[in-house]
Copies of this chain bind each other. A is one copy, B any other.
Amino acid sequence: MYCKDRSNIIASITNFIANNGGNIVYIDQHVDREQDIFFMRLESEFEDDSFSIEDFKILFKNTLVDQFKIKWRIYASGIKPKMALFVSKYDHCLYDILGRYNSGELFLEIPFILSNHLDLKPIVDSFKIPFYHIPVTKDTKKEAEQKQLELLTSHNIDFIVLARYMQIVSETLIDKYPNKIINIHHSFLPAFVGAKPYHSAYKRGVKIIGATSHYVTEELDAGPIIEQDVTRVSHTHSIDDLISKGRDLEKIVLANAIKLHTNRKVMVYNNKTLIFS
């Protein structure tokens, strides 16, 4: 939740929870001094099972939300979010995510994997997950998009991960899943926006390359950054070496972004993220 910074917000909220029988098990707050905005992330346990999350929402709304003009979200713990995975031809992020998924490392469900190509179908099949092939060409773009939306809706998808999906997703999709489409870009943004960042990094002669996971917004590679990581390179590395070293960055960075998202640790404000501990 966040709102304009004012006195007594923390006490008011913690009080509200205590008075309703909740025990706070996690609290973290941040104040953006430039914008004068107060942010808070809070986890609370309620012993009385009869007190539902819906009751809480109504009560909270009628009291503090209106009083402090709070923007907020609430999640019941224990419910796995549903993730749709979009891929194209690169398999390293796919293997990585599916390996983690099978190991139980990720708190989520993958109802299906979608690709504009057939190349990765055998891998998806070996993991026994439904695979949908929706090719995208200039002519079929609208139609493909429609099919995607139907799939997403019919499976009650909560968020989408673009694991090196090589198509630009449409405005319609972005509007329908605001801050819920996670992309992995293979550079240390904002350096090397757009296509072929490893080639650009090689040409510029940088000594460190990176990868960036961000929420997709309408401006290309300009959405809120969730996670970044870097690794050293030198003149001895060819473009192929950069691509190979970058793959490991992409896997780790994307996996971390997914975990932060599903653990509800990410808050977006002003095209930036707050990542709570």
Contacts and interface: CB of A to CB of B under 8 A. Distances in A.
Which DSSP category, helix, strand, loop or mixed, fits chain A's interface?
Answer: mixed
A277 B236 contact: yes
Contacts of A247: 105
Nearest to A33: B238
Contact of A15 (B15, B208, B277): B15
Contacts of A30: 235-236
A92 interface: yes
Interface string A197-236: 0000000111110100000000000001111111010111
Interface in A219-272: 224-230, 232, 234-236, 238, 244, 247-248, 252, 255, 271-272
A23 B156 CA distance: 43
Contacts of A235: 30, 272-275
Given A127-B126, A206-B225, A103 B99 contact: no
A42 to B, nearest CB: 9
Contact of A206 (B14, B98, B189, B238): B189
B7 A11 contact: no
Contacts of A192: 190
A67 to B, nearest CB: 14
When all copies of this chain in the complex are counted, the total is 4
Contacts of A177: none
A130 B238 CA distance: 35
A172 to B, nearest CB: 25
Contact of A102 (B7, B8, B95): B95
B205 A273 contact: yes
Contacts of A191: 188-191
A75 interface: no
B31 A7 contact: no
A144 interface: no
Nearest to A122: B102
A1 interface: no
Contact of A225 (B31, B204, B252, B272): B204
Contacts of A224: 205
Give the top 9 A-B pairs by smallest Cβ distance, nearest first: A205-B272, A95-B99, A11-B18, A191-B191, A235-B274, A11-B14, A7-B23, A207-B228, A126-B126
